Amino acid sequence: MVAALTALDEGRTPERPVYREAVRTLLTVLAERAPGRSVEVRVPPYGAVQCVAGPRHTRGTPPNVVEMDPATWLALATGRLAWSEAVTEGRVRISGIRADLSGHLPL
């Protein structure tokens, strides 16, 4: 994860395996700290998790979805970017009433 953050801090795109590992690691931490299946957090192309307690979906597109690019996810998860700022700037796409992750970030 440090390698991915260092690359981003230097204005570089991390190598694909490094980026993937950092994104997936932090998604796993989110799912562990906010267990549940009411929100799906997507960080294409590297991963997605279901988290946050509440009504569970079983088919199709879930009603509560959060989607963002990998750089935004790493910044949010590590506290380098505030949730409100990311939403205001359009860096996070959210749908559904449970899609606010501000209470779960940073990790």
Per-domain residue ranges of the chain: 2-95
Whether 5 has a pLDDT exceeding 70, the answer reads yes
- Give the pTM: 0.93
pLDDT (mean) for 38-57: 91
Joined tokens for residue 47: 């991963």
What architecture (CATH level 2) is domain 2-95? 2-Layer Sandwich (3.30)
Task: Give the mean pLDDT of the chain.
Answer: 94
pLDDT (mean) for 93-102: 93
